[in-house]
Amino acid sequence: MADAVVIDSPLSWNEIAAVADGATLRLAPAARHRIENARAIVDALVEREIRGYGINTGVGALCDIIISREDQQALSHNIILSHACGVGQPLGRQETRAIMAAQIANFAHGYSGVGIEVVETLLALLNDDMLPVIPSKGSVGYLTHAAAIGLVLIGEGECRHGDRLLGGRHALEKLGRAPLALRAKEGLSLVNGTPCATGLGALAIARLSHLLDWADAAAAMTYENLGAQSDPFAEGPLALRQSLGLQQVGRNLRHWLAGSALIAQSAGSRTQDPLSLRAVPQIHGAVRDAFAQIADVVGRELSSVTDNPVVTGSPEAPEVYSQAHAVGAALGLAMDSLGTAAAELAAISERRIDRLVNPLVSGLPPFLAAGSGVASGFMIIQYTAAALVAENRRLATPASLDGGITSALQEDILTHATPAADKALAILGNLQTILAIEVMAAVQAYDLQAGSAEKASRTEVIYRRVRETVPFYRDDRPLNGEVAKVRAMISGLSPSLEADAR
């Protein structure tokens, strides 16, 4: 089990990703105090009959209907049941944990007003890996995803615990807890805010961060097989372009290719290389620059209160404000940007794969096949990469522009932050597969190189790791199974750490 993450100050995207990966989550005393104080403010609002959206009024287009004190508990209960209308395949374990961590972190700011027992129950579910089943489709913002979590708190819905599926009440019993009777505002808070998009966004950033390093490693391996310039990615000329990301990629490529006899052997045979090789610093670097901007947006979101309404003041002087903090416009734009950036990274990787397998430009055996004509080698797996790039192009259409009108014109502009994050994760999944194909193709190309020139010492380490995972390909087994193995290797391994561990 990974180390515990403690909520005191706002969490970072790295911490959300750590919880998604299995770290436990705890409340610091200060966070507990903030939650308890906010609940006392809601109780004071109820006692004084101060109007507050979703506290003593209906929700959405029913916001002007006053709810009596005796019906406020029923309102919270009914909000969960009516909003739990998501459809489609359930989210995965990491996605579910990321959303729950972001939800708890949002409550811990101390402006939502849920009771401490709500947060403690969420923590118990999360830390025992008793995860609510969250349908992946049906949300224009956050409501249906979050309601699926809320269902379990009231003893409804389902949880997945390992390979077992349990009803909500049974899951709570396993944890020694009883279903909650939600109080005023708790139902609304449980379905409100941007934790769905923020949690998924943090996970997307973590995955992109990992794949950025693999993209640089894969590009270096391909360049070593196909490159020709005598001084690739030289520091001085690259420094003329103002981009921190570009400079980082340049350093990474110089790191990977240091001492390569293959590069020295081919030096000077072309004036300049094709863009899919020569423009790696510019394109990978632009993605790194976009990554930094997107990570900043998600970090700000995690530091922000995204509930509506928010409660402030004190139990003696309670205040409630209905604003639009639950609207995730910034996250929608950021996740659309992340998806486009990841799709660009996948596109250039596929172009490099094509050059590795194309005998018209590679100087290598056609399609990296072991036998001429009898074996097809990597011919069709390049089709697969091209298909995934095309799918990414479709997925990269901005979700934040989809718009829509809901709740009888009360919610008449929608920013689709959660769908934007969901499709960004899908693009990242395709990117990981494409990079696995490129790494496999580059390793196959090494084995087919004429002569005895040595690879760089660091690419040699990756080569050996891949060959420990899959052998040389001779058209003797389905290639998709081999891709899956290398894809899994990439998922669990940092290329830089592996290369420097020799």
Which domain CATH number covers 288? 1.20.200.10
Residues 419 and 317 in one domain: yes
Helix (H, G, I), strand (E, B) or coil at 315: coil
Q: Is the pLDDT of residue 267 over 50?
A: yes
What is the structure's pLDDT at 501?
46
Residues 180 and 211 in one domain: no
pLDDT bin (cut points 50, 70, 90) of residue 416 is: confident
What is the residue range of 159's domain? 5-192
Residues 155 and 216 in one domain: no
What is the structure's pLDDT at 159?
98
Residues 147 and 238 in one domain: no
Helix (H, G, I), strand (E, B) or coil at 407: coil
Cα angle 325, 149, 312 (rounded to 5 degrees) comes to 35
Residues 127 and 210 in one domain: no
Q: Is the pLDDT of residue 166 over 70?
A: yes
Q: Is the pLDDT of residue 374 over 90?
A: no
CA distance 352 to 441: 10
Residues 95 and 225 in one domain: no
The residue written with tokens 């416009």 in the block is 329
Q: Is the pLDDT of residue 408 over 70?
A: no
Query: Which of 21-25, 65-69, 119-123 shows the lowest per-residue confidence on average (mean pLDDT)?
Result: 65-69
CA distance 408 to 491: 45
- Domain boundary (192, 211, 231) is at 192
Which two tokens mark 168?
């909500």
283 burial via Cβ count (<10 Å: 0-12, 13-18, 19+): buried
DSSP string covering 414-470: ---HHHHHHHHHHHHHHHHHHHHHHHHHHHHHHHH-SS-PPPPHHHHHHHHHHHHHS
Residues 307 and 388 in one domain: yes
Residues 482 and 351 in one domain: yes
SS (H, E, C) 225-275: HHCCCCCCCCHHHHCCCCCHHHHHHHHHHHHHHCCCHHHHHHCCCCCCCCH
Check residue 358 and report its DSSP letter: -
Model pLDDT for residues 122-150, shown as the tens digit of each residue: 999 999 999 999 999 877 767 889 999 99
pLDDT bin (cut points 50, 70, 90) of residue 50 is: confident
Residue 493 main-chain phi, psi, to 5 deg: -135, 135
CA distance 47 to 419: 39
- Domain boundary (192, 222, 242) is at 192
| Overall domain count for the chain | 2
What is the structure's pLDDT at 500?
57
pLDDT bin (cut points 50, 70, 90) of residue 502 is: very low
pLDDT bin (cut points 50, 70, 90) of residue 409 is: low
Check residue 321 and report its DSSP letter: E
Q: Are strands 164-167 and 135-137 parallel, antiparallel or unpaired?
A: unpaired
- Domain boundary (127, 157, 192) is at 192
CA distance 191 to 91: 17
Around Cβ 372, how many Cβ atoms within 10 Å?
10
Residues 117 and 218 in one domain: no
Q: Is the pLDDT of residue 469 over 80?
A: yes
Residues 182 and 215 in one domain: no
Q: Is the pLDDT of residue 64 over 80?
A: no
Strand partners, 137: 87
pLDDT bin (cut points 50, 70, 90) of residue 212 is: very high
Query: Which secondary structure element, helix H or strand E, spans residue 184, and what is its range?
Result: none
DSSP string covering 286-312: HHHHHHHHHHHHHHHHHTS---SSEEE
Q: Is the pLDDT of residue 446 over 90?
A: yes
What is the structure's pLDDT at 353?
98
Q: Would you call the peptide bond into 309 cis, given omega within 30 degrees of 0 as the criterion? A: yes
CA distance 221 to 436: 12
Residues 11 and 114 in one domain: yes
Average pLDDT across the chain, whole number: 92
Q: Higher model confidence: residue 404 or residue 6?
A: 6
Q: Is the pLDDT of residue 395 over 80?
A: yes
Q: Is the pLDDT of residue 452 over 50?
A: yes
CA distance 227 to 497: 25
Mean pLDDT of 362-373: 88
Q: Are strands 25-27 and 5-7 parallel, antiparallel or unpaired?
A: parallel
Gyration radius (Cα) of the chain, Å: 26
Give the domain CATH number at 95.
Answer: 1.10.275.10
Model pLDDT for residues 84-100, shown as the tens digit of each residue: 889 999 999 999 999 99
Residues 472 and 332 in one domain: yes
